[in-house]
């Protein structure tokens, strides 16, 4: 059974077993209908962006607290789909990584399709010390590599986390950058370097 079918079956089973979710379905349907009235396809910004996939539906309908066994099973599916670099190299150039972390451009209707997309990492995290404006939705990443090291296992963890955070925590609010094709392999490598390279300002 493939992961997509498994997610759909599990989502249906959870909703069927949860009266509260069913009671909420009318309100959810009305809210989605209202959003879809206002969001229209314009260029590469397509209206289907307001539609949730099966995995996100499970998180939305359980208040981000799905049953542990279901979460573990689906996290394993997400992890199996992470595509690590064929050359085995997981760290790029931290300077390029800082530019990606700073950039929030890409995927809007006014952006040219195919151009590199930014990570917009500072929107949620503290990273390098020179940037004094940052979000706090995610944890601080300052001194990330200094505290955790840059072993092969740590590089793999960081690469996988950026590629698809839901492979580690099913209802993570972090975007699935690699999974959805927002960031390419080289870009993710650069972000790994930003966090782990001893020469990166993050680790000074």
| β-sheet bridge partners, residue 42 | 45
Q: Does domain 94-203 have CATH number 1.10.760.10?
A: yes
Query: 196 near 158, Cβ under 8 Å?
Result: yes
Can you give the pLDDT at residue 165? 97
Query: 191 near 184, Cβ under 8 Å?
Result: no
DSSP 140: P
CA distance 99 to 58: 34
> How many angstroms from the chain centroid is the CA of residue 120?
12
Query: 36 near 50, Cβ under 8 Å?
Result: yes
Pick the closest to residue 102 from 130, 74, 137 (CA basis).
130
Query: 152 near 84, Cβ under 8 Å?
Result: no
Measured CA to CA in angstroms, residue 43 lies from 47, 51, 105, 111 at distances of 10, 17, 15, 9
Q: Consecutive sets of 10 residues in the chain, 204 residues long: mean pLDDT of each? A: 54 49 65 79 84 88 92 96 97 98 88 88 96 94 97 98 97 95 96 98 97
Where in the sequence of the chain do the CATH 1.10.760.10 domains occur? 94-203
CA distance 118 to 183: 7
Can you give the pLDDT at residue 121? 97
């Amino acid at each position: 059974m493939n992961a997509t079918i498994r997610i759909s079956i599990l989502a249906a089973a959870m909703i069927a077993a949860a009266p509260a979710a069913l009671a909420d379905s009318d309100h959810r349907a009305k809210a989605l209908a209202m959003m879809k009235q206002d969001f229209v396809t314009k260029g590469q910004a397509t209206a289907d962006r307001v539609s949730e996939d099966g995995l996100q539906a499970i998180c939305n309908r359980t208040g981000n607290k799905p049953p542990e066994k279901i979460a573990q099973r689906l996290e394993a599916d997400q992890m199996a789909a992470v595509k690590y670099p064929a050359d085995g190299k997981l760290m790029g150039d931290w300077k390029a990584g800082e530019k990606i972390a700073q950039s929030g451009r890409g995927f809007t209707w006014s952006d040219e399709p195919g151009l590199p997309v930014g990570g917009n990492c500072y929107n949620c995290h503290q990273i390098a010390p020179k940037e004094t404006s940052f979000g706090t939705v995610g944890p601080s990443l300052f001194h990330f590599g200094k505290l955790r090291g840059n072993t092969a296992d740590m590089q793999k963890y960081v690469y996988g986390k950026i590629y698809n955070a839901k492979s580690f925590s099913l209802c993570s609010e972090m975007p699935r950058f690699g999974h959805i094709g927002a960031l390419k392999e080289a870009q993710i490598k650069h972000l790994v370097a930003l966090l782990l390279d001893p020469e990166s300002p993050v680790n000074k």
